[in-house]
Amino acid sequence: MPEESQQELVVQGAAVRLRHSAHSDRGAIRAINEDSILAAPPVWLVADGMGGHERGDLASQTVIETFASLAGSPAVTPHDVLDVVRAANEAVRALPGTGISGTTLTGLVLVEIDGGGPHWMAVNIGDSRTYRWDGRSLEQQSVDHSVTQELLDQGLLSPEEALLPHPHRNVVTRALGADDEVEADVWLLPLRSTQVFLLCSDGLTKELPDDEIARIIVFHDQQIARNVDGPTLAERLVGAAIAAGGSDNVSVVVVESHLVSDVLTLSEDTIDRDFALVEDTRPRN
């Protein structure tokens, strides 16, 4: 079922007004939905169970249930997030059965940095994506862990060719549950006055290029400005992906934040120490 919610949190003395919309659908072809989503401040996630492995739906649900331990927490630290990533991987590995279960994960957690004020902590494993919308352009924040991305990085595929069907298009190079230890990309983003993030499974980006996703966001914002009732942004995007073919499960979580009061003065010593803990591990081309 589509979900939309708005609330206000106080994080390290900063009042933050948060709004999100979330929607997940099995698509036009798949018999079941192996995606799972979590939209429970201070954590928002999309997990895409790996097709071709046993119980991809259980794998994604298990990760979401593990992260749900952070939901409603008045104070989450970067340490907490990293601990839950490890626990989620162990939980997927422990699922009963003879095969391997796996799932991607992308999302955001609003964390506290001692002396540094609230930050977004982004986490990514696999080819689900986190984007940032600045009101004019859509920028992919995460880097896909996929064979397609590796071929792009090596210059063996052009961006146009990467959008076309090819034998390795759906092959991911990292996933929760695939190995005893998982290496997540993590990075911190300072909390600013107004921010919008889009989290999605690859069922959205298989069907819609980034410029079409941006066009839908602009149209939705125009409808809101005119006080026109209609579907949430998450519903619009999922519906557009299904209308374009819907060859996979489609999940979208949109997170909007508005800073109501100023954040605390930053302490450079503390920031340096905490940034070392969650060093920006996104690959660089």
Task: Provide the pLDDT confidence category of residue 74 given band limits of 50, 70 and 90.
Answer: confident
Separation CA 144–CA 202 (nearest Å): 10
Q: What percent of the chain shows pLDDT beyond 90?
A: 68
CA 183 to chain centre: 16
For all residues of the chain together, what is the average pLDDT? 87
Q: What would the mean pLDDT of 31-49 be, rounded to a whole number?
A: 97
The Cα angle at residue 24 between residues 21 and 27, in degrees rounded to 5: 140
274 confidence band (pLDDT: 50, 70, 90): very low
The length of the chain is 285
Q: Which pair of structure tokens corresponds to residue 18?
A: 């948060």
What digits encode the pLDDT tens for the residues 12-29? 888 999 999 999 999 999
The two three-digit tokens of residue 178, written as one number:
């695939």
- Examine residue 96 and say whether the peptide bond preceding it is cis (omega within 30 degrees of 0): no
Q: pLDDT tens digit string along 159-190? A: 766 666 666 666 889 999 989 999 999 999 99
Domains of the chain (ranges, CATH numbers)? 3-142+169-276 (3.60.40.10)
Residue 100 confidence (pLDDT): 73
Checking if the pLDDT of 44 tops 70, the result is yes
Is residue 53 scored above 70 in pLDDT?
A: no
Residues linked to residue 278 through DSSP beta bridges, in sequence order: none
Per the DSSP assignment, residues forming a β-bridge with 112 are 118
* SS3 state of residue 7: strand
- The pLDDT tens digits of the residues spanning 104-157 come to 999 999 999 987 789 999 999 999 999 999 999 999 999 999 766 666 666 666
**Diameter over CA atoms, the chain:** 55
- Whose tokens are 């790996």? That residue is 50
**Per-residue confidence at 194, pLDDT binned at 50, 70, 90?**
very high
Q: What is the dihedral of CA 265, 269, 271, 272, to 10 degrees?
A: 150
For the segment 244-263, the average pLDDT, to the nearest whole number, is: 91
Query: Quick check: 125 and 88 in contact, CB under 8 A?
Result: no
> For residue 4, with 0-12 CB atoms within 10 Å meaning exposed, 13-18 middle and 19 or more buried, which class applies?
middle
Interval 133-147: pLDDT, tens? 999 999 999 999 976
d(CA 111, CA 76): 5
| Partners of residue 37 on adjacent β-strands | 46
